[in-house]
Structure 1
């Protein structure tokens, strides 16, 4: 049992009482032995009383003490770390649909592989998480506002269409605006739910070319940091990808450095995926991080069970060895 603490540790003071019971038992046994030796024929007593019998008669008392210790720990409210599904969180999935996603360095294409992995991510996300979807190329489009319904998100993922240019900053800004609008509606007394942006792209921003421009990706990452909304970036593709544009073979190398910097500026995490399997693994890892949280939960039940079993064992052994209850 992996303990992290106790909810009511003052109950552990009862262990002092248990200690006093043990001391009292030892004292009573010594006093009983003195009385027995004073009034008994020792030679006859040794012949009729087996030596092992003296030890066995302490078993019920030992089990009773073990039961008291276990039940005392249960009263103290032991806690343990446990992964539990989140019941309130907002995630915006931002997917690059620029023409570079047509590259076949990831089979069958970058876009098809991204759609399959994103679909699995959406379907496997815990029910309490509100998931939204944004696609971006030259501009950003909110395809699905944050919702716990997954069918609409999956349908939108399946129908992603390619377009020209890559406006990464616009994708992040659109996600921030969508999260802000959603949070203002569902905030309540507890405040807005924690939010995160998951950005998946395969190339360098082209609109605007300066990532520190007012609508650039690095500027958007800084705004996300101020709003306490980390951007988790996934750099998807290889260094040898290419697409056909107007009959010319155009290289579309991934831009890991920019994705790493966006994650750093926003306080998020950076992931690299060069194959469809690696992308699935990244999304699976994100599903665990986003969908679950580690909490200290009550773990007193095992202690109660063991304490009760020990108590019954003490009673049974007392009846078996001494024909009476302790």
Structure 2
């Protein structure tokens, strides 16, 4: 019988001692808008560095990776432990997020799955099923028991965008695949107004909290964005054990 995301993710979180966070950042041209001074993209980079700093202080054994997406997606930095690789991760955030065209959220989520499956040490008993599940190499379901996550690392994706998916591909499908594998997804919309992002899509991609509400929020200024990343860095809701 296929397990629901809610049952599997809750069990996985109870085991989690560490978190592997993939920060998935929209780098479409609109991210250069100056309404989050000096720009939306620079505000996002400042938020990433703030997250890294908090994790360095509180959870140095956590992993962080960075993925960017525009018309396509790529891994800017594979997941690394923050405690020993803080400067490498900071350099990647400052230098790797260049702007491209379009907004391909599906490609971004797929690339985030690849970053988790290739670099985050969360094997099941057989060593490869989670990677296969993420990348669509089989049609299996989520691992049948959260004890298969022997390393106790909780997957986490933070998706930040200021636009709507406007490329081929199906973001909801990739969001479901990640959630069915136990990954928690936070979605953040930024920009001039909520109407500039597809809030319905982002709510559907996002995980839900303990009260059943989507982990999606629209943030309309730079300071609030920094505070949101500050709070996510604590990742208390991911660390139930």
What corresponds to 1:288 in structure 2? 234
Root-mean-square deviation (CA, aligned residues, Å) is 2.7
Distance of 1:230 and 1:194 partners within structure 2: 8
Q: Alignment partner of 1:261: what SS?
A: helix
Q: Is the 8 A contact 2:186 2:207 kept in 1?
A: no
Q: How many residues align?
A: 193
1:124 CA displacement? 1.5
Distance of 1:131 and 1:92 partners within structure 2: 6
1:175 CA displacement? 0.8
What corresponds to 1:3 in structure 2? none
What corresponds to 2:112 in structure 1? 175
Distance of 1:178 and 1:235 partners within structure 2: 22
Alignment of 1:141-180 (within 5 A): 141-148=74-81, 149-159=85-95, 160-180=97-117
Alignment of 1:1-326 (within 5 A): 87-125=17-55, 126-148=59-81, 149-159=85-95, 160-183=97-120, 190-191=150-151, 193-208=153-168, 215-239=169-193, 253-264=196-207, 269-289=215-235, 293-295=239-241
1:95 CA displacement? 0.6
* Larger mean Cα displacement after TM superposition, 262-271 or 125-134: 262-271
Structure 1 unmatched ranges of 5 or more: 1-85, 209-214, 241-251, 296-326
Distance of 2:24 and 2:79 partners within structure 1: 12
1:264 CA displacement? 4.7
Structure 2 unmatched ranges of 5 or more: 1-15, 126-148
Distance of 2:21 and 2:170 partners within structure 1: 21
1:186 CA displacement? 6.6
Greater RCO (CA < 8 Å, at least 6 residues apart): 2
1:254 CA displacement? 3.0
CA offset digits 1:106-155 (Å, max 9, x no partner) = 22211111111111112211201111110111111101111112222211
